[in-house]
């Protein structure tokens, strides 16, 4: 996409943000302990916006806010609050407000809320629920973290597979436990094996005597309860699913996942990948404190200091050469930096290709070949360029040749490392987004310094 | 999220990928020109999988494939094919196959298909459509690229606001033009201003005599036709929308956006951000050729060579100092590299905060302060560490002091640059993901080399 987009779109930038003025008024009401004023200010706000507000308040104001406003904090708001803050909010909520909030929530949201809690706190919340809800949630918690079983809601609208449209509509009109949002009726056989689904649109636009079987969707697809949630999100996006039935190991219907939850997962997974590629702890959040932020970033910087020391010890091998020709010290970071950048380009494409499943066994060989060719072409382009610049700067044709050659070697190695390191990490079951960067820049630093200074030692001395 | 996840989930990894065996059989059928065998192999495949297959074939096989299979390529498949390949496929399709495919498609998919075509080709496709579809698509094309107007489909299911559930269901049963998928009925007044919407679930579970007005959703929200599609995706994700009516500047209903399209946009925007942060052309695709790939990557490497030359010219200022103490050349890349990494961490968090609208005017000051503190803390930690390592290596306490001080300065500057550069770029309307990296690493390279070598000149000589 182009940079024109910002210019072309004239919608107000901050339509979906809290304005500074609103925030000032809210802060004032909190500081003055003015409950009614606060209620009036919050009244028009959507639960997601209230959650954003709670995240953006300073910690002391947040506590005052919850004291003043606690009666109004419901399940919708709790669901939206970022996990890093939520625990703090829950601890401060009166027990009966929390119980009421949880009773309103769909089972997937309750699971999300309590899955990271200690057992006694989990029990306290579960005790507030009806027997059937509690059983469904306890069942969900038996599935692995980040699996479809944790993401699904157990409230599913089903119909026997031999029913007609009219029977189904009559049934829906009688029931009062229906989920807030549902998009399909799942057809099940007597053993609760899903046999297809009918969209509500088809149900509404078909005559009463039409059998459900005749209007099922072609694209029926079930999700295994143990499927990784990232893969679930990928499947939703790829096949444009709106909701999908979840089945257990005996192929029996146990729940349903809806696209809004899949979209949240897709969003989180992307966020994680971006943060991992940048060497930032992937549970970082805008509301983290200085201590939390430092703790997330130090390990990556520590890894980087180790790899830079490796690169430095390569330079140390050539101290004598540098002492004789200091221009080498001036130029050597360019070779390393170009290698690092070219390597990062390739590895990002590889990591994304693996994440989106577009880099598959079927095209790996072709992509590796392409990256190697691109590395070689870039090497020749920038080798010639740096050779030229070096000649203009230092008037030394042999130095030009050395840097040109080193550039070709390092950009080729960068391409090779950029594609092979993520593929290798993926093969052994590690997350390529997490570790590729450190590996690849270490390789390009070491190779860059070694070829440049090594060639210089051979050719120039 | 933790690294345990890969271990916990035991679902088959490649369930949603084409197997190597299938691909071999398909390649064989293509090479032998065996149309019936190819049809049999493709028959169970979903349109999205066929599109993936077409993307993964080599260019000559793709041409043979389309010749053999062209009769079966329908709108669903065309919609799914990556844009980089789609043009090629369309050119090869017989005119009548293309016309038939386009007639089946929803208006948003037709817009997506033809928006990048030349005028004569656009006209040829539009000519295949019904008058009313053609008008709707021509209208969509008048809205800016990447706006809600291009993303929406014009087929909207509406009902007068005074209708009852029964009237609405009767109306839906009579109509035969209904979209494939719809999730709401939009209530409109006589001037087509949307007044609310009713979910199909509510419609089905309510009695026939209930007025629609009584069962509208609380969270009604319209999208302006000129809204940027990235913001639309953000709103869908934030407020868990399933579909949202799109209105023109007179607040009249002109279309509807559904969550599956919003999810695709979210996915694309993330992908762009990741690729931009890594300095890879954001329209890059796994099926690009060597020439296309090189063309995307060269500009970024060229920018990087310019910034490395700036850094090198800073080193050149201190040639004399380095000549006297070559250990400086060994250690200086460490200072620069740590700055670059710390800067990248901060800028990634800032770029993501801006993209997800969690970094707002309300908390900017707090976040800038936090990043500065974190920079200082990291500086002290790694300044002490490098001071220690340097002493062990070179047994020179003054050199240790110099590198420790330089590290503190550079990590602080990295934090400052990492947060202020993206904020500044955002302020002037540039995309922070696109240019922040180059700016920030230039700053950390220049400041790193300058403080380290400058301090060394002052203290050591």
Q: Could you tell me which of B255, B205, B262 has the C-alpha nearest to residue B239?
A: B262
Nearest to A309 among B259, B280, B389 (CB): B389
Among the ranges given (A410-424, B42-56, B335-349), the one the predictor scored with the smallest mean pLDDT: B42-56
Whole-number pLDDT of residue A8: 34
Task: Give B16's contacts in chain A (Cβ within 8 Å).
Answer: 231, 234-235, 238, 357
How does DSSP classify residue A257?
A: E
Among the ranges given (A48-62, A252-266, B141-155, B225-239), the one the predictor scored with the smallest mean pLDDT: A48-62
**Percentage, residues of chain B above pLDDT 70:** 95
Give, in degrees to the nearest 5, the angle at Cα A422 between A416 and A424.
90
Residue with the two structure tokens 């809800």 = A133
Q: Do B358 and A207 touch (CB under 8 A)?
A: no
Nearest to B10 among A58, A203, A226 (CB): A226
Packing angle between helix B131-141 and helix B107-114, nearest 10 degrees?
60
Among the ranges given (A11-20, A142-151, B214-223, B370-379), the one the predictor scored with the smallest mean pLDDT: A11-20
How does DSSP classify residue B159?
A: E
Max mean pLDDT among A118-132, B93-107, B302-316, B343-357 falls in B302-316
Q: Domains (ranges, CATH) in chain A?
A: 16-142 (1.25.60.10), 158-277 (3.10.580.10), 290-460 (1.10.357.20)
Task: Please enumerate in sequence order all residues whose Cβ is within 8 A of that of B24, keeping only pairs 6 or more positions apart, or say none.
Answer: none
Q: Could you tell me which of B159, B161, B156, B177 has the C-alpha nearest to residue B169?
A: B159
Q: Could you tell me which of A388, A109, A365 has the C-alpha nearest to residue A255?
A: A109
Task: Give B319's contacts in chain A (Cβ within 8 Å).
Answer: 326-327, 329-330
- Read off the pLDDT of each residue in A109-117 and give the average, rounded to a whole number: 87
The span from the CA of B143 to the CA of B126, in Å, is: 17
Q: Do A227 and B9 touch (CB under 8 A)?
A: yes
Identify the closest residue of chain B to A342 by CA–CA distance.
B301
The span from the CA of A68 to the CA of A79, in Å, is: 20
The span from the CA of B339 to the CA of B253, in Å, is: 52
A159-218 residues touching B, CB cutoff 8 A: 169, 172-173, 175, 178-179, 181-183, 199-201, 203-207
Give tens-digit pLDDT for B186-225: 999 999 999 999 999 999 888 999 999 999 988 788 999 9
Task: Please enumerate in sequence order all residues whose Cβ is within 8 A of that of B121, keeping only pairs 6 or more positions apart, or say none.
Answer: B114
- A132 at the B interface (CB within 8 A)? no
Whole-number pLDDT of residue B1: 38
Q: Do A58 and B366 touch (CB under 8 A)?
A: yes
Residue A246 is inside which H or E element, if any?
Answer: strand A243-247
Residue A87 is inside which H or E element, if any?
Answer: helix A83-92
Q: Could you tell me which of B338, B326, B339, B343 has the C-alpha nearest to residue B453?
A: B326
Mutate which of A176, A302, A330 to test chain B, going by most B C-beta atoms within 10 A?
A: A330
Mutate which of B155, B204, B289, B306 to test chain A, going by most A C-beta atoms within 10 A?
A: B204
Distance (Å) from the C-alpha of residue B385 to the closest C-alpha of chain A?
9
- The upper half-sphere exposure of residue B368, i.e. CA atoms within 13 Å in the direction of its Cβ, equals 13
Pair A117, A125: CB distance under 8 Å: yes
- Which stretches within B32-106 are classed as H helix? 35-42, 47-56, 59-69, 75-80, 83-92, 95-104
- Read off the pLDDT of each residue in B43-50 and give the average, rounded to a whole number: 86
The Cβ of residue A420 has, within 10 Å, a number of other Cβ atoms equal to 20
ipTM score for this prediction = 0.84
Q: Do A173 and B382 touch (CB under 8 A)?
A: no
- Which structure tokens are listed for B383? 């300044």
- A315 at the B interface (CB within 8 A)? yes
Give chain A's mean pLDDT: 88
Distance (Å) from the C-alpha of residue B284 to the closest C-alpha of chain A?
8
The span from the CA of B417 to the CA of B427, in Å, is: 15
Task: Please enumerate in sequence order all residues whose Cβ is within 8 A of that of B174, keeping only pairs 6 or more positions apart, or say none.
Answer: none
The span from the CA of A123 to the CA of B417, in Å, is: 47
Phi, psi of A249 (to 5 degrees): -65, -20
- Read off the pLDDT of each residue in B302-315 and give the average, rounded to a whole number: 95
């Amino acid at each position: 996409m182009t940079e024109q987009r910002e210019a072309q779109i004239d919608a107000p930038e901050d339509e979906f943000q809290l304005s500074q003025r609103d925030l000032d008024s809210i802060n004032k009401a909190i500081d003055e302990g003015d409950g009614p004023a606060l209620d009036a200010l919050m009244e028009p706000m959507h639960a997601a916006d209230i959650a954003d507000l709670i995240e953006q308040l300073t910690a002391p104001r947040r506590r005052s806010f919850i004291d003043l406003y606690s009666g109004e904090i419901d399940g919708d708001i709790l669901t939206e609050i970022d996990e890093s803050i939520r625990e703090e909010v829950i601890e401060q909520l009166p027990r009966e407000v929390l119980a009421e909030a949880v009773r309103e929530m769909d089972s997937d949201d309750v699971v999300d809320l309590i899955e990271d809690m200690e057992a006694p706190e989990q029990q306290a919340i579960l005790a507030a629920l009806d027997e059937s809800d509690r059983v469904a949630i306890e069942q969900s918690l038996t599935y692995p973290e980040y699996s479809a079983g944790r993401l699904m809601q157990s409230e599913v609208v089903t119909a026997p597979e031999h029913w007609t449209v009219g029977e189904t509509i009559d049934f829906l009109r009688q029931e009062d436990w229906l989920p807030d949002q549902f998009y399909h009726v799942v057809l099940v056989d007597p053993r609760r094996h899903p046999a297809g689904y009918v969209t509500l649109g088809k149900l509404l636009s078909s005559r009463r005597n039409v059998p459900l079987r005749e209007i099922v969707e072609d694209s029926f697809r079930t999700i295994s309860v143990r499927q990784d949630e990232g893969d679930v999100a990928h499947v939703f996006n790829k096949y444009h699913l709106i909701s999908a039935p979840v089945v257990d190991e005996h192929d029996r219907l146990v729940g349903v996942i809806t696209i809004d939850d899949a979209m949240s997962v897709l969003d989180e997974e992307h966020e994680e990948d971006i943060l991992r590629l940048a060497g930032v702890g992937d549970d970082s959040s805008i509301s983290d404190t200085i201590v939390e932020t430092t703790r997330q970033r130090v390990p990556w910087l520590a890894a980087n200091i180790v790899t830079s020391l490796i690169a430095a010890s390569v330079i140390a091998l050539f101290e004598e050469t540098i002492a004789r020709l200091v221009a080498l010290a001036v130029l050597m970071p360019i070779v390393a930096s170009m290698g690092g950048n070219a390597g990062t380009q390739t590895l990002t494409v590889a990591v994304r290709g693996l994440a989106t499943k577009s880099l598959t066994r079927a095209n790996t060989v072709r992509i590796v070949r392409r990256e190697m060719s691109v590395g070689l072409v870039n090497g020749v382009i920038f080798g010639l360029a740096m050779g030229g610049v070096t000649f203009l700067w230092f008037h030394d044709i042999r130095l030009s040749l050395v840097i040109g050659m080193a550039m070709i070697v390092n950009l080729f190695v960068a391409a090779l490392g950029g594609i092979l390191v993520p593929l290798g990490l993926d093969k052994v079951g590690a997350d390529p987004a997490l570790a590729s960067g450190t590996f690849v820049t270490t390789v390009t630093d070491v190779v860059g310094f070694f070829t440049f200074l090594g060639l210089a030692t051979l050719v120039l001395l």
